[in-house]
Amino acid sequence: MPNPQVRLPVSDRLVVVLAYDGLCTFEFGVAVEVFGLPRPEMGEAWYRFAVAGLDPGPMRAEGGVRLLADGGLDLLACAGTIVVPGWRGAAMPVPEALVAALRAAATRGARILSICSGVFVLAAAGLLDGRRATTHWRHAEALTARYPGIRFTPDVLYVDEGAILTSAGSAAGIDLCLHLVRRDFGAAAANRVARRLVVPPHRDGAQAQVVEGAVPVSHEAARLGPLLDAMRADPAGDWPLATLAIRAGMSGRTFLRRFAAATGTTPARWLLDLRLARARDLLERRDRTLDAVAEAAGFTSAAALRQPFRRRFGTSPATYRSGFAAGSENAKSAPKDA
């Protein structure tokens, strides 16, 4: 059934992904999978999609693939969202025509996002000056050396600066694209897309790119896995560190070390992320009071939820929920040919 929470204006629903000679195939495929596939279950307000070719076709892509685009850089002038899926290389120049097209798109208010090495294209266009941004950890040194004006943010999956968004390595592009779906259509829509992709519906952007490693011993994985599942099933439950360690059959110190190796963070931070995600999902449904949302998510009151929610999402719970109320009204009035 159509998602009633769409907040994206009709004029902004065209997603244009850039294609170029030497195209990064995986990153391009991520954009196609999330934004370009027919999704009748999402209703008539879903994204429209096109491919803009930087070079005359057919263009080569990694893996021996050749492709033709729907049009040239002129398509960027019509896009509500532009995706730059990687780039030819950190040291490869960015054509002035592409720089000019991206600057013009940014000036008129289009959203522009990069996946992995695509950050170098946004940086060359000056779109990241003074902004936070990220990229694959292997490109961090080259990016910060070449563009010192960027507020580089390491050890995250993606950075959302409003109209400019950047992701870390290739697979983090999935997280960033799902994040954008969540912004535009709500958590239920993002979850449906994630289910079709068979990926987790949400990995927070602040999650580390690289953790120490997977849980190294099979019997430890068997102990931690069910515990993490139990916490996911009951984020509002009481989960003191001592209880977690006992349930995992470890000392407190060993548990903290193994938990960090498995998740890249502490139990307290992991549980807070879980609770905030739960609160956000409940707010989008708009069928509970703020206090009831807070209690169901594991906070003592709406007041206790407010500060961590604002730190994470940049707005208050009440304002976040009211945005979805406005989005629902927009969806009801959207023309059928959206």
Residues 234 and 316 occupy one common structural domain: no
Tell me the H-state helices in the chain: 25-31, 96-107, 119-124, 140-146, 172-185, 187-197, 218-233, 241-248, 252-263, 267-285, 290-297, 302-313, 317-333
DSSP 210-230: --S-S-SSHHHHHHHHHHHHH
**CATH code, domain with 306:** 1.10.10.60
**Which tokens sit at 288?**
């509970």
Residue 237 has what pLDDT?
93
CA dist 53 and 59 (Å) reads: 8
Residue 331 has what pLDDT?
35
Is residue 51 within 8 Å of 17, Cβ to Cβ?
Answer: yes
Residues 16 and 129 occupy one common structural domain: yes
CA dist 125 and 101 (Å) reads: 9
Residue 7 has what pLDDT?
62
**CATH code, domain with 82:** 3.40.50.880
Residues 23 and 70 occupy one common structural domain: yes
Residue 126 has what pLDDT?
97
Residues 165 and 312 occupy one common structural domain: no
Residue 128 pLDDT greater than 50, yes or no: yes
Residue 101 pLDDT greater than 60, yes or no: yes
Residues 252 and 193 occupy one common structural domain: no
Q: Which of 64, 124, 67 is nearest to 96 (CA)?
A: 124
Sign of CA dihedral 89, 95, 101, 103: positive
Residues 276 and 131 occupy one common structural domain: no
Residue 8 has what pLDDT?
62
Residues 33 and 171 occupy one common structural domain: yes
For the segment 211-223, the average pLDDT, to the nearest whole number, is 46
Residue 157 has what pLDDT?
87
Residue 204 has what pLDDT?
54
Domain assignment of residue 209, yes or no: no
Q: Which of 241, 263, 285 is the last residue of a domain?
A: 263
Q: Which of 162, 197, 232 is the last residue of a domain?
A: 197
Residues 49 and 182 occupy one common structural domain: yes
Residue 215 pLDDT greater than 60, yes or no: no
Domain assignment of residue 1, yes or no: no
For the segment 149-156, the average pLDDT, to the nearest whole number, is 89
Residues 257 and 286 occupy one common structural domain: no
Domain assignment of residue 5, yes or no: no
Domain assignment of residue 162, yes or no: yes
pLDDT, tens only, 226-274: 888 889 889 999 999 999 999 999 999 999 988 888 777 899 998 998 8
Indicate the number of domains in the chain.
3
Domain assignment of residue 99, yes or no: yes
Residue 80 has what pLDDT?
96
Residues 283 and 241 occupy one common structural domain: no
Backbone angles phi, psi at 159, to 5 degrees: -130, 130
Residues 45 and 193 occupy one common structural domain: yes
Residue 130 has what pLDDT?
95
Residues 67 and 91 occupy one common structural domain: yes
CA dist 66 and 86 (Å) reads: 17
Q: What is the span of the domain harbouring residue 170?
A: 10-197
Domain assignment of residue 212, yes or no: no
Residue 334 has what pLDDT?
33
CB atoms within 10 A of CB 112: 25
Question: Angle at the Cα of 188 (from 75 to 208), degrees rounded to 5?
Answer: 80
For the segment 12-37, the average pLDDT, to the nearest whole number, is 95
Residue 107 pLDDT greater than 60, yes or no: yes
